[in-house]
Amino acid sequence: MALYIDDAEVEQLAEEVVALMETTVEVAIRTAIVEKIERRKTEYAEEIDSTGRQG
């Protein structure tokens, strides 16, 4: 039993894979940005706690 996928189906599947990969990259970038912001907020709060003042 052979499985046949025509060119149009292959192209459609390829487009779907690319879209999923792009979404994955976007989510990874957003996650990294949020993590960096959270880390900086924590560092800033720790600096305020240790010095008792901002900056």
Q: Quick check: pTM over 0.85?
A: no
Residues 48 and 54 sit within 8 Å (Cβ to Cβ)? yes
Reading phi first (left if > 0) and then psi (alpha if -120 to 50, else beta), residue 2 is in: beta
- Residue 52: pLDDT above 80? no
Alpha helices for the chain (secondary structure H): 7-51
Q: Tell me: pLDDT of 49 over 90.
A: no
User: Does the pLDDT of residue 17 top 60, yes or no?
Assistant: yes
- For 28-46, the pLDDT digits (tens) are 999 999 999 999 999 999 9
For residue 50, what pLDDT is reported?
Answer: 84
Q: DSSP code of 39?
A: H
How far is it, in rounded angstroms, from Cα 25 to Cα 11? 21
Measured in degrees and rounded to the nearest 5, phi and psi for residue 54 equal: -85, 150
Asked if residue 55 has pLDDT above 60, the reply is no
